[in-house]
Amino acid sequence: MQADSHNLTLADIGTLAQYQQRRHDIRRAMIAHKQNRRVALGPHVTLHFEDWHTMKYQVQEMMRAENLHDEQDIAQELAAYNPLIPDGNNLKCTLMIELSDPGQRQQALRKLVGLEHSIDLQIGNNAPVNAIADEDLIRTTTDKTSAVHFLRFQFTAEMIAAACAGAHWTLASRHPAYAYQVTPLPDNIVNALCRDFTAAPGH
């Protein structure tokens, strides 16, 4: 399936007035939806796996925050967020490094340079798939990483078949200063992510 067939359109987003009327119900549904797409990797890193629905919500929230009414302005938001929708043979996620204390956070960001390139996702006995990080722009300097990164995991047909057949998944960080793994991923997470390989856009 081509990436374009997954893209959100202006018709999908609707108007700001339409979103405002339904925002309470949409927010409640999105909280439940995201619970099946969020994985804590160790104590300070969380991966939020994105899909058509999370990106639609993100664009609508940006529309509300910036009071966007003009279709051209909304189209710019679509251009920014559509690339984060999975294409049918990959998974895409937002990686967040989370520490509440500003001093500790800055210290961690210095220690975790390169973390975004050290994340693997393995399906069954297949080779681990290393994340492709920050394809839109570089978010790390030589002495400090960013608290937010965007990752893509690209899978072969064999890996996807194994995933849909019930293979265990392992998510791991190989960074020397942050070596953690989650294995196996919980069933609710795996079931949600498997739908990213097969779901039609908007479903």
* Reported confidence tier of residue 5, pLDDT bands at 50, 70, 90: very low
Residue 9 lies in a domain: yes
| 8 Å CB contact between 49 and 192 | yes
* Reported confidence tier of residue 199, pLDDT bands at 50, 70, 90: low
Residue 138 lies in a domain: yes
User: pLDDT of 69-83, one tens digit each?
Assistant: 999 999 999 999 999
Residue 186 lies in a domain: yes
Domain that holds residue 41: 3-198
Residue 96 lies in a domain: yes
User: pLDDT of 81-132, one tens digit each?
Assistant: 999 999 999 999 999 999 999 999 999 999 999 999 999 999 999 999 999 9
Q: Could you tell me the two tokens for 161? A: 């078949």
Residue 203 lies in a domain: no
Residue 190 lies in a domain: yes
The predicted pLDDT at position 155 comes to: 97
Single pTM value for the model? 0.92
Residue 78 lies in a domain: yes
Cα gap 115→1, rounded to integer Å? 31
Q: Give the chain's radius of gyration (CA, Å).
A: 18
CA 185, 186, 192 angle in degrees (round to 5)? 95
Give 160's contacts (C-beta < 8 A, 6+ positions apart): 89, 123, 197
* 62: nearest Cα among 44, 76, 42: 76
CA 82, 86, 92 angle in degrees (round to 5)? 95
Residue 191 lies in a domain: yes
Number of domains in the chain: 1
